[in-house]
Chains A and B, each alone.
Chain A
Amino acid sequence: MDMLALGAGLAVSISGIGGGIGMGIAGGKAFEAIARQPEVGGDVRTLLFITLAFIETLTIYGLLIAFMLVSKIQ
């Protein structure tokens, strides 16, 4: 039971680290691109949203596993 709680915490935190770093890099580069060339802002924003959605999915997988583990505690 203790290990389940630990596992749930680790699942969400480790996937959060990866997703956070990835999103930071993607977002930073996108802002850089928009700052250099403001006229492509719309295209970059659309691509950025798609990319962030893909990255975020991996974090959400971790969150789901954490929920599943939490529902097993008791």
Chain B
Amino acid sequence: MLFGMWDSVFFHLGPIPVDHLVVTEWAIIALVGIISFLATRKMQLIPTGLQNGFEAVILFTYDFFTQLMDEEHVAKKWAPLLTSFFLFILISNYSGLIPGAAHVEGFQPPTSNWNVTMTLAIITFFSVHIAGFSEHGGHYLHHFVSPSPLMLPLNLVEEVAHPLSLTVRLFGNIFGEEMVIAFLLFMAPFIIPTAIMGLSLLLGAIQAVVFTLLSASYIGAAAGKGH
């Protein structure tokens, strides 16, 4: 059976089947949540330890998004969502490096399934339009018929192509990487896969950055002064 096509439903939550991906996502959300809780439990004016690290991350991302989106209030509004995207994608990409991932049935990084990445992309899709409407009101619709009404179909296709390409990029990268590691583990179980795993440390981080960066630039383009 092709890797990642397991049909392992653990239990049903009402009518909704809960499979291995959802459980892995819950674990990642719990991990991020617990670390964030521990970091902000006893906040001090002069930060130490974990709080210090988190403040550095938050400050860096705020500055980065402000620089990317031009307008500070838009960046402040959307930075929490984008930073959560980044942390979630980064940790789920790295969860493929835990021994047994892509090897044991029912354990795979969530981002190597296109259902998960499409969910993330759809969140981005709605965020883009919410950002556009909340910044420009009804005037935002103008952007679909610019520079001329002839461009309307092309603009609509573009709006659909953005989430689609976000989906396929993240899914294809992580899925491909996991496939390569699985093949290598099958052919040479020791030492050799570590080379690809070291590369996948880099790849996972880059894909998390790219997803966040593109989401930020779409939101920035919709909320910006351009139209």
B168 adjacent to A67 (CB under 8 Å) = no
B213 touches A60 (CB 8 A): no
Q: A60-B168, A64-B168 are in contact. Are A53 and B214 (CB under 8 A)?
A: yes
A64–B213 CB distance below 8 A: no
The answer, yes or no, to whether B155 is at the interface (CB within 8 Å) is no
Q: Is B47 an interface residue (CB 8 A)?
A: no
Given the known inter-chain contacts A56-B169, A57-B165, A60-B169, please indicate yes or no for A46 contacting B210, CB distance below 8 A.
Answer: no
Give the chain A neighbours of B214 by CB distance below 8 A. Answer: 50, 53
Say how far B131's CB is from chain A's closest CB, in angstroms. Answer: 18
Cβ–Cβ contact A63 & B176, under 8 A: yes
Q: How far is the CA of A50 from the CA of B206 in the complex (A)?
A: 11
Interface SS of A by simple majority:
helix
Q: Which of chain A's residues 10-68 have a Cβ closer than 8 Å to chain B?
A: 42, 46, 49-50, 53-54, 56-57, 60-61, 63-64, 67
Question: Can you name 7 A-B pairs with beta carbons within 8 Å?
Answer: A46-B68, A50-B210, A53-B210, A57-B172, A63-B176, A64-B172, A70-B2
Find out whether the CB atom of B217 lies under 8 angstroms from the CB atom of A50. Answer: yes
Given contacts A53-B210, A57-B172, A67-B175, 16 further A-B contacts (CB under 8 A): A46-B68, A49-B206, A49-B210, A49-B213, A50-B210, A56-B173, A57-B168, A60-B168, A60-B173, A61-B168, A61-B172, A64-B168, A64-B172, A67-B2, A71-B2, A71-B5
Q: How far is the CB of A57 from chain B (nearest CB, A)?
A: 5
Q: Which interface class (under 10, 10 to 19, 20 to 34, 35 or more) fits A? A: 10 to 19
Q: Mark B1-33, 1 if CB is under 8 A from A, else 0.
A: 010010000000000000000000000000000
* A50/B213 contact (C-beta < 8 A), A60-B176, A67-B175, A71-B2 known: yes
Instruction: Kindly state whether residue B179 has any CB partner on chain A within 8 Å.
Output: yes
Interface centre among B172, B206, B217 (most CB of A within 10 A): B172
Q: Which chain A residues lie closer than 8 Å to B213 at the CB level?
A: 46, 49-50, 53
**Which residues of A have CB within 8 Å of B116?**
none
